[in-house]
Structure 1
Amino acid sequence: MEKIMSHAGFRNDDAEHNHSSDDSEKDDLPRTSEEVRRHDAETLTAEEDAERLLVGGSNAQPSQSGWKLRKEQKSRRSKRRRDGQEPEKRKLIYDTEEGGLRESSVESSSDYEEKDALQQTKSVKRSSKRRTICGFAVVHVVIVLAFLALLYGAWRASHTQRHPETNAADSTIPAEDEEKEQELPIGTTYKPQAMFNGTHTFDPTTILISLDGFRADFLQRHISPTLTAFVQIGVSPRYMLPSFPSLTFPNHFTLVTGLHPESHGVVGNTFWDPETEREFYYTDPERSMQPEWWQAEPLWVTAENAGRKTAVHMWPGSEVKGGADAVGAAYVDHYNGNEHLDNKVSRILGWLDLPAASERLPNGNTRPQLIAAYVPNVDVDGHKYGPNSTYIRSTIMEVDGMLNSLFEGLEKRNLTNIVNIVIVSDHGMSTTSVKRLIQIEDLVDTSLIEHTDGWPLYGLRPYDHSPSKLQEIYQGLIAKSKLPKYEHTFDVYLRDEDMPARYHFASSTRIAPLWIVPKAGWAIVTKEEFDIAGGAQEVYHPRGLHGYDNQHPLMRAIFVAKGPAFPHLPGSEVEPFQNTEVYNIVCDSLGIEPVPNNGTLRLPLKTSGVHDPDRLIETPEDLQDDPSLALPPEVANLAYGHGGVRPSSEPPVVPNLANRPDFMVPTAGIPPVETAISEPEKEAPQPVKPTETSEPARPVVHDGLDDDEKSGSINRWWEWVNGKIDAIKGWASNMLGKGDTKDDGGGDGES
């Protein structure tokens, strides 16, 4: 037993010695993992042998207390193993700092992975930060661009006068839409439909208004705000070309037939028909208002034949007895050159107030779907005072005021977007002068001429109809045109030889065989009318003329349209066209099929973009070299009042020098317009009767903007800009506020 214990004690002493030795060497020399495992295995074997001997020999089973003892010893051995690894781990960390990492070490591999993950996390954070900064920069760039766009829109708006019915949304066109054409498919046909205005149903309805003598560049004079605003919300070309000759009767019949004058038969204001040997003279209704002269179907006849009721107010040619082909408009107003503009507005609105055919009362009138109205005022005063006179500016303002009253009436009836409105003119006008007159007797022997047609251009019909005599006169005129005295003053054409094809003025025997066509601004006169040699100090009348080359800039007319038949962008522009296109356009707006004509355009119109308010519009040269062009004396403004304010007295009576003098009865069925008097007890002054030596008093309208108007315009512009700046500031604040909220919440999302 002692031997056994002695042997066991030796083993224990040896284990303790080894353990003590291990402890002493622990701080001096680190052991390898293999040495640690070998030492633990030897110690465990010795302890188990000793335990078996104590309990009962080599075959004895370990007791429960011996099992617990071994468990505690194992726990102590695990602790010693962990303590023995510390030096090795410190050595691994040192090797790592020196750049030498052992690939077989588990600790070194784990450390490397942790470092790589840390670097990837830092990279992701840097990338997220860059994205946040870029997003923030993009938001600021968008804000700056939007602000600049608003400033540009403000600048454009300051150059555009708006109709009082429109607002900024109606007239400001987004930049991306400036080059956009209409969205209707090419090749489609407009199909008009009945529309409801809130109280009544309106069948497709079109109002056609002609402003006689309204030259295209009159719109650039800043005295017609209503018409200018109408251009900005409608569709129009920069100008419309009249037909040749650029006279009232030929062009008004072209507008409603779509035919050139050579085709519809009215080739001038005066002309001779060799087949019937009768003369057409526009101032004599007994001769001119006969169906034989009007050889085409006008618009109101086409509409009536299609079942559309029509009304015509003073349109040249509408008073033909019995109507063309025995069909006339349902309502016809005879010409009255002195009719007040208010009556024209009342007449148009009165027709619109009639009940529809389905609402017709017994023996009552019904509403027309086509209304054509003629306004001669600008032409009349252009002839009398000249197209650049102060007087004509007042007349343009009066006519513009009439349009304003008409638009206000449509707005009150909620018809602004229900009815179509087409505004046209027939031609322009050029200023005349005693320095630009040609004596016909100096050009040709008038004793050889049987008939002269037209004016200011001259159509010659010699007594001798032989071709040889015609050639003789023609060659003589060509020779005269080349003289220094007449160079660049007139052209000479033979109808059947060298008449320009673009005139479309040859295919009718009503056209004289030989023509003298003066240049714009020049007039041909007889000695009976004006003796140039003896009347150099006199004033030549009329002071304004038309009838020249239809493509001359001074002869350009206007066309502006708006309504459900014209679903274009506000301010849409179409390429310039000739007035032969108007007939088709109006027919399409009513949904009726036009008869054959010279026009080619059909609805929907193909636009070329929108009008650029910054584009410089060419102002045609209209010579003003006659010092005798005195302006009327300055008086209180009698111009037609805007906003419903009527003048304090009727305008003075003016001699009618238009193509249609006052030779017909006043408009039937229209009561006179009562004129407001500023002082109830005071009678309105009587109109001034014109004489040969006195000129009627007219309002004086200056040609440019005075300082007050300029400053007012600038102030309005600046107020508009300030309003837009405040709006963009509010928008920017909201955007930045949303971005701050996201950042406060810890998000890295872009604004």
Structure 2
Amino acid sequence: MSEVLLLLLLLLALGPGASALPKPSGQRQTGPQRNKLLLVSFDGFRWDYDQDVETPELDMISVRGVKAKYITPPMLTMTSPSHFTTITGRWVEDHEVVHNMMFDQKTNLKVPHKETLRRTEWWDTGATPLWITAQNQGLKVGSFHFPGGGAHYSGQPIQRHVFETPGFPDDNETEWRENLDTVLDWFSVEDFDLVTLYFGEPDNVGHQRGPDTPERKDIVRQIDRALGHLRRGIDARNLTHNLNVIVTSDHGMTTVKKRPLVDEIILNKYLPLLKLASFEILDYGGFGILTPRPGREAEVLESLAKVPNITAYSKSQMPYSFHLGRSQRLPPVVIQADLGFNLNSRLIVYVNKGDHGYHSGEMDMKTIFRAFGPDFRQNVVSQPFDSVHIYPLMCRLLQLQPAPHNGSEEVTRALLVQETDGASRLVSSLLLLVSFLFFFV
């Protein structure tokens, strides 16, 4: 009698409906249980940007979906390294996109960020981004402006990619709405399964004006209006019940201290760069890299130790928590400025009023995570987590067998409707079983 009842209760707990998210497999599933996924990134959206601005759409997402208190980006808190961690689930030392600029220490090649986005050799490092994993398992995939989306991986392009228009302003609200409509049509008209969409704000405003300014508040309001346009577009195209949406970012932003000759760091005052270094990228905000000339690394590190408001690391002795030390691309010396201070090599050339690139543990570097759709719970606020865990969550939503990655599916499991409901159903059934056995035995 007890065995029969136990079997019935377990079947009830784990039977059809206990989870609409079956374990990932390598086969494309065309049944109604597979939902589509849109990943939207707003560059430089700090975790608290919605706290001093009226953002009804973001607030609605928090009620109708899930919200993390904040997300910790990887070291390095730069656009390309962080976005590639999100789309691969790999730490920067594993995916090797170690800077916004493509560079070569031997030739002193330095390719600007916008041009680097078109250079496959910078992105195709052996880490497999989600686009390729999804394509290889039968899904239809697109990328709109997303960093890394324009490269080929082992010779394979992403099925559809749109590059940013050169010279076009990143804050054009009309273009934003057109881009959102285009992406939603990919889902509704062309039956895409996965699309990644990137916006260059509020990063640009944060750099040019600073994060604590009226202009930053204005662009956050514009972002909120864009999310309203997205929500209405989803409803109009009947995608409400089969499209999951994740809204996130790559890093935060902090105010750069700009008192002349006090807060500026000019490294050549402390060590002769031309004499001691063969390669450098130092005029780039809060993060710098340097290749000492042969036999001069100890001298370089000793000189850098005397520079105020920075910490210099030998790559071989870098803290494990940075997940940078195993990188083959990073030069031997990495320089991290204290929050709000910026690096200059020989002259003060830095003009930004806000920046990132600082330690990912700083609260000003934290970023946002919101998600809504049929597979997400509602009105849930989760504890903070690292952005590396977004990748296995996306694989779970798309029912994909993931490529090797550094994230954990367990970190975000409780955000999903079926996972929580299934677990609750099992616990309730087991408690019922215990009560029954206690009563009859």
Using the size of structure 2 for normalisation, the TM-score is: 0.81
2:392 equivalent to 1:584: yes
* Total equivalences in the alignment: 384
Q: Is 2:331 the partner of 1:507?
A: no
Is 1:521 aligned to residue 348 of structure 2?
no
For residues 286 and 218 of structure 1, the distance between their equivalents in structure 2, rounded to whole angstroms, comes to 29
1:462 — aligned with what? 292
Please tell me the residue identity of whatever aligns with 1:523: N
Equivalent of 1:305 in 119, 136, 139 = 136
Q: Counterpart of 1:605 in 2: which secondary structure?
A: helix
Match of 1:376 among 192, 200, 208: 200
Shift of 1:391: 0.7
Provide the residue aligned with 1:563 in structure 2. 373
Give the letter aligned to residue 438 of structure 1.
Answer: I
The residue that corresponds to 1:334 in the other structure is 163
Alpha carbons of 1:231 and 1:282: their partners in 2 closer, same or farther (altered >3 Å)?
farther
CA contact (8 A) 1:190 1:604 kept: no
Which of residues 596, 599, 602 is equivalent to 2:404? Answer: 596
Which residue of 2 is the match for residue 234 of structure 1?
A: 65
Residues of 2 paired with 1:284 and 1:222: CA distance?
30
The range that moved more, 375-384 or 431-440, is 431-440
Select 2:113's aligned residue among 266, 283, 294: 283
Cross-structure match for 1:180: none
C-alpha distance in 1, partners of 2:117/2:192? Answer: 29
Change (3 A) 1:286 1:251: closer
Deviations 1:405-442 (A, max 9, x none): 01011122332232101111100001113223211222
Partners in 2 of 1:375 and 1:382 — Cα distance? 14
Which residue among 244, 248, 273 is the counterpart of 1:420? 244
Match of 1:352 in 2: 187
How far apart, CA to CA, are the structure 1 residues paired with 2:230 and 2:123? Answer: 34
Counterparts of 2:14 and 2:107, CA distance in 1: 52
Answer whether contact 2:36 2:244 (CA < 8 A) is retained: yes
Structure 2 vs 1, CA of residues 265 and 283 (structure 1 numbering), >3 Å: closer, same or farther? same
Contact preservation (8 Å) 2:245, 2:373: yes
Deviation at 1:602, TM superposition (A): 4.6
What is the Cα deviation at residue 514 of structure 1?
Answer: 1.3
CA-to-aligned-CA distance 1:452-507 (integer Å, 9 cap, x gap): 136321111122x22xx2112211221x14xxxx2xx211211102x121111111
CA deviation after TM superposition for structure 1 residue 525, in Å:
1.6
Distance (whole Å) between structure 2 residues aligned to residue 282 and residue 591 of structure 1: 37
Supply the AA of the counterpart residue of 1:583. Answer: Y
Among candidates 313, 317, 324, match of residue 148 of structure 2: 317
Counterpart check, 1:494 vs 2:324: no
Distance 1:560 1:278, change over 3 A: same
Q: 1:380 Cα shift?
A: 1.2
Change (3 A) 1:218 1:580: same
Cα distance in 1 between the residues matched to 2:412 and 2:337: 38
SS at 1:584 equivalent: helix
TM-score by length of 1: 0.48
How far apart in 1 are the matches of 2:181 and 2:19?
37
Give, as a single letter, the amino acid of the residue that structure 2 aligns with 1:553.
Answer: M
Residue correspondence of structure 1 range 613-692 to structure 2 within 5 A: none
Deviation at 1:203, TM superposition (A): 4.8
Q: Unpaired runs of 5+ in structure 2?
A: 1-12, 24-28, 417-441
Deviations 1:543-574 (A, max 9, x none): 111000011000001111122222x2x22122
- Letter of the structure 1 residue corresponding to residue 140 of structure 2: K
**Of residues 266, 277, 281 in structure 2, which corresponds to 1:449?**
277
Which residue of 1 is the match for residue 436 of structure 2?
none
Quote how far apart the aligned CAs of 1:527 are.
Answer: 4.2
Cα distance in 2, alignment partners of residues 280 and 524 from structure 1: 18
- Does residue 474 (structure 1) correspond to residue 301 (structure 2)? The answer is yes
Distance 1:392 1:271, change over 3 A: same
Question: Deviations 1:610-652 (Å, cap 9, x if unpaired)?
Answer: xxxxxxxxxxxxxxxxxxxxxxxxxxxxxxxxxxxxxxxxxxx
Name the Cα RMSD after superposition.
Answer: 2.6
**Pairwise CA distance, 1:237:** 1.7
**Secondary structure class of the residue paired with 1:256:** helix
Residues 22-421 of structure 1: matches in 2 within 5 Å? 190-191=21-22, 203-270=34-101, 272-274=103-105, 277=107, 279=109, 281-283=111-113, 285=115, 289-291=119-121, 293-295=123-125, 296-320=127-151, 323-336=152-165, 337-338=168-169, 340-354=175-189, 366-421=190-245
The CA distance in 2 between the partners of 1:260 and 1:599, in whole Å, is 9
8 Å contact 2:389–2:408 — kept in the other structure? yes
User: How many Å apart are 1:606 and its aligned residue?
Assistant: 2.6
Gap change, CA 1:284 and 1:402, over 3 Å in 2: closer
Contact 1:430 1:520 in 2 (8 A): yes
Q: Matches of 2:90 and 2:301 in 1, distance apart?
A: 29
**Distance in 1, Cα, partners of 2:110 & 2:252:** 23
Alignment of 1:526-545 (within 5 A): 526-530=345-349, 541-545=351-355
Provide the rounded CA distance (Å) in 2 between the counterparts of 1:188 and 1:444.
61
SS at match of 2:241: coil
Letter in 2 for 1:501: Y
Secondary structure of 2:229's partner? helix
Task: Name whichever of 374-383 and 507-516 sits farther off.
Answer: 507-516
User: Kindly tell me: are residues 257 and 184 of structure 1, through their superposed partners in 2, closer, same or farther at Cα, counting changes over 3 Å?
Assistant: farther
Give the SS at the match of 1:216. coil
- What is the alpha-carbon distance in structure 2 between the residues aligned to residue 607 and residue 313 of structure 1? 26
Relative to structure 1, the CA distance from residue 293 to residue 407 in structure 2 (aligned partners, 3 Å threshold; closer, same or farther) is closer
Per-residue CA distance 1:157-193 (angstroms, 9 max, x = gap): xxxxxxxxxxxxxxxxxxxxxxxxxx999x9793298
2:315 maps to a residue whose letter is: R
